[in-house]
């Protein structure tokens, strides 16, 4: 039985550029006519929105793994995959948190974050990976592969292991965090650290899939995008189907913004929601090709660049899905913004201080929101959701260096870094002496009062 049993499995591949509708995808998931990206469309969809909402709500009470998954629970909006091929770690089901301190920081009355770092491998990638890895399994592949800044590879390695497939990881040497590298090792991937950057890894992988029968699991794979859509569906359910005014998301390879935006448009078309939130995309200043594409070239072209940021997850200079992201940016009326290394570090510490925390790439959302509020694009009383993409523990190095005051040592930001000192909480090393601890406590209390 197909997973999408209540649909007639009407998913159709469609080229975003020339409109070709191939029956199946090539190894590199590019259109064989024009080389552009493919997406799934659902021409025969005719769902009753109220019936869908109750079906999805009811599944939460059912103990079957696929109904417990925060991705497969929404399978009517996914391409059909035969149930015996589904690989799930009960992904999705991520919390929506109030961030009162961050709201104040950004100049808003209230602020919420959907924490996609609360997924099984601690990043949003799991929501797309469960669908795409299942499709690899259905296709009978022995090997799956990806190029990654660390989170995709961690997620892919886990799902491949669960599905008894081998995984090949291409990562840029010295440019991903230890937390992420350790995950792909433990989940048993063949991990190749290439002496290049992420974009260089993508280039090699694109060649490799033409030579070897490996299944490509980067976000050019449209199954990834379909799975990642469910974060937006789940978010709307958590908001009782009342859309927020704004959703703010980090932009790297731009698959996630494309996915969230696609879900919003589809939910609007299916009348699951009555209006579209504005979807805004934030990039690090040192890895801002999409920001420049929109602000300098009106979205007409994208100039690849050599990316440089300590938010290593989004250190990407040639984002594959930029045209898809541009489409949803325009369709929802969102903004694009860039933020500096200092702004990222400051915003990350603020999110931590709200008792939530995230990895640096996720913190660009709060830093960008602050700028958008200052510019008047976001109003004080509007409802805003940040998408936090990765867990705090993904990159402990960054966090410890920040709190010790070492993060910007030897960088162009060394002088300005003093402005983040108020947020730093370096560990205090003391003798094993009660009076010393009491003195430290009194000192901290006097600082706080």
The whole-angstrom separation of Cα 414 and Cα 339 is 17
Q: Which is nearer to ligand F0G, 134 or 253 (CB)?
A: 253
**If phi over 0 gives left and psi between -120 and 50 gives alpha, with beta otherwise, what is residue 434?**
alpha
Q: Which is nearer to ligand F0G, 158 or 254 (CB)?
A: 254
Q: Which is nearer to ligand F0G, 68 or 321 (CB)?
A: 321
Q: Does 313 sit near ligand F0G (CB under 6 A)?
A: yes
Q: Does 256 sit near ligand F0G (CB under 6 A)?
A: yes
- Taking the complex as a whole, the smallest distance from the CB of residue 228 to ligand F0G amounts, in Å, to 8
Q: Which is nearer to ligand F0G, 121 or 134 (CB)?
A: 121
Q: Which is nearer to ligand F0G, 7 or 218 (CB)?
A: 218
- Taking the complex as a whole, the smallest distance from the CB of residue 313 to ligand F0G amounts, in Å, to 3
Q: Which is nearer to ligand F0G, 111 or 122 (CB)?
A: 122
Q: Out of 252, 277, 299, 352, name the contact with ligand F0G by CB under 6 A.
A: 252
Q: Does 145 sit near ligand F0G (CB under 6 A)?
A: no
For the four alpha carbons of 208, 209, 213 and 217, in that order, the dihedral sign comes to: positive
Q: Which is nearer to ligand F0G, 7 or 152 (CB)?
A: 152
Q: Does 94 sit near ligand F0G (CB under 6 A)?
A: no
Q: Out of 38, 202, 361, 384, name the contact with ligand F0G by CB under 6 A.
A: 361
Q: Does 254 sit near ligand F0G (CB under 6 A)?
A: yes
Distance of CA 90 to the CA centre of its chain: 17
Q: Does 399 sit near ligand F0G (CB under 6 A)?
A: no
List binders of ligand F0G among 96-135 (CB under 6 A).
Answer: 123, 125
Q: How many residues bind ligand F0G (CB under 6 A)?
A: 23
Q: Does 347 sit near ligand F0G (CB under 6 A)?
A: no
Q: Which is nearer to ligand F0G, 4 or 154 (CB)?
A: 154
The whole-angstrom separation of Cα 259 and Cα 116 is 14
Q: Out of 108, 170, 264, 314, name the contact with ligand F0G by CB under 6 A.
A: 314
Q: Out of 134, 184, 362, 373, name the contact with ligand F0G by CB under 6 A.
A: 362
Count of Cβ atoms closer than 10 Å to residue 445 Cβ: 9
3-state secondary structure the chain: CECCCCCCCCCEEEECCCCCCCCCCCCCCECCCCCCEEEEECCCCCCCHHHHHHHHHHHCCCCCHHHHCCCHHHHHHCCCCEHHHCCCCCCCCCCEEECHHHHHHHCCCCCEEEEHHHCCCCECHHHHHHHHHHHHHHCCCCEEEEECCCHHHHHHHHHHHHCCCEEEEEEECCCCCHHHHHHHHHCCCEEEEECCCHHHHHHHHHHHHHHCCEEECCCCCHHHHHHHHHHHHHHHHHCCCCCCCEEEEECCCCHHHHHHHHHHHHHHHCCCCCCCCEEEEEEEHHHCHHHHHHHHHCCCCCCCCCCCCCCHHHCCCCCCCHHHHHHHHHHHCCCEEEECHHHHHHHHHHHHHCCCCCCHHHHHHHHHHHHHHHCCCCCCCCCEEEEECECHHHCHHHHHHHHHCCCCCCCCCCCHHHHHHHHCCCCCCCCCCHHHHHHHHHHHHHHHC
- Cβ atoms of 229 and 77 within 8 Å: the answer is yes
List binders of ligand F0G among 180-239 (CB under 6 A).
Answer: 219
Q: Does 149 sit near ligand F0G (CB under 6 A)?
A: yes
Q: Does 148 sit near ligand F0G (CB under 6 A)?
A: yes
Q: Does 289 sit near ligand F0G (CB under 6 A)?
A: no
Residue 283: φ, ψ to 5°: -120, 155
Q: Does 156 sit near ligand F0G (CB under 6 A)?
A: no
List binders of ligand F0G among 363-392 (CB under 6 A).
Answer: 389-390
The whole-angstrom separation of Cα 175 and Cα 34 is 33
Q: Which is nearer to ligand F0G, 76 or 234 (CB)?
A: 234
Q: Out of 152, 191, 206, 365, name the contact with ligand F0G by CB under 6 A.
A: 152
Q: Does 312 sit near ligand F0G (CB under 6 A)?
A: no
Q: Which is nearer to ligand F0G, 141 or 398 (CB)?
A: 398
Q: Does 255 sit near ligand F0G (CB under 6 A)?
A: yes
Nearest alpha-carbon partner for 127 in 24, 260, 314, 16: 260
Q: Does 250 sit near ligand F0G (CB under 6 A)?
A: yes
Q: Does 150 sit near ligand F0G (CB under 6 A)?
A: yes
Interface segment toward ligand F0G; rule CB under 6 A; list 94-102, 252-260, 331-339, 435-443 = 252-260
Q: Which is nearer to ligand F0G, 52 or 302 (CB)?
A: 302
Q: Which is nearer to ligand F0G, 222 or 252 (CB)?
A: 252
Binding residues for ligand F0G, per CB under 6 A? 123, 125, 148-152, 219, 250-257, 313-314, 359, 361-362, 389-390
């Amino acid at each position: 039985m197909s997973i999408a049993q209540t649909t007639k499995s009407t998913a159709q591949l469609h080229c975003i550029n020339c409109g070709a509708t191939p029956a199946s995808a090539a190894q590199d998931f590019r259109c064989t006519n024009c080389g552009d990206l493919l997406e799934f469309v659902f021409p025969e969809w005719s769902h009753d929105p109220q019936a869908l909402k109750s079906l999805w709500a009811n599944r939460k009470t059912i103990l079957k793994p696929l109904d417990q998954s925060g991705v497969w629970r929404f399978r009517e909006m996914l391409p059909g995959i035969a149930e015996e091929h589904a690989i799930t770690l009960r992904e999705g089901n991520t919390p929506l948190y109030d961030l009162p301190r961050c709201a104040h920081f950004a100049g808003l009355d209230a602020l919420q974050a959907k924490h996609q770092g609360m997924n099984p491998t601690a990043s949003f990638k799991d929501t797309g990976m469960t669908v795409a890895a299942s499709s690899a399994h259905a296709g009978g592949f022995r090997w799956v592969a990806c190029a990654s800044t660390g989170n995709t590879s961690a997620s892919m390695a886990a799902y491949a292991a669960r599905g008894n497939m081998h995984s090949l990881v291409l990562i840029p040497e010295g440019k991903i965090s230890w937390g992420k590298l350790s995950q792909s090792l433990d989940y048993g991937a063949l991990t190749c650290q290439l002496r290049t950057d992420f974009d260089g890894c993508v280039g090699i992988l694109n060649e490799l899939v033409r030579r070897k029968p490996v299944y490509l699991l980067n976000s050019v794979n449209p199954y990834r995008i379909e799975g990642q859509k469910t974060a937006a569906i789940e978010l709307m359910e958590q908001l009782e189907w009342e859309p927020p005014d704004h959703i703010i998301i980090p932009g790297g390879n731009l698959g996630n913004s494309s996915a969230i935006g696609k879900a919003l448009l589809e939910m609007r078309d299916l009348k699951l929601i009555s209006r579209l939130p504005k979807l805004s995309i934030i990039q690090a200043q040192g890895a801002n090709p999409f920001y420049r594409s929109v602000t300098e070239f009106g979205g007409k072209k994208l100039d690849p660049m050599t990316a440089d940021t300590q938010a290593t997850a989004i250190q990407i200079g040639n984002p594959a899905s930029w045209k898809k992201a541009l489409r949803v940016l325009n369709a929802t009326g969102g903004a694009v913004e860039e933020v500096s290394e200092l702004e990222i570090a400051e915003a990350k510490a603020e999110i931590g201080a709200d008792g939530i925390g995230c990895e640096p790439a996720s913190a660009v959302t709060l830093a960008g929101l602050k700028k958008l509020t200052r510019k008047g694009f976001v109003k004080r009383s509007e409802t805003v959701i940040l998408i936090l993409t990765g867990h705090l523990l993904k990159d402990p190095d960054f966090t410890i260096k920040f709190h010790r005051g070492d993060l910007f040592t030897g960088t162009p930001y060394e002088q300005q870094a003093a402005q983040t000192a108020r947020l730093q909480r370096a560990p205090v090393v003391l003798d094993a002496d009660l009076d010393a601890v009491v003195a430290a406590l009194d000192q901290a209390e006097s600082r706080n009062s």
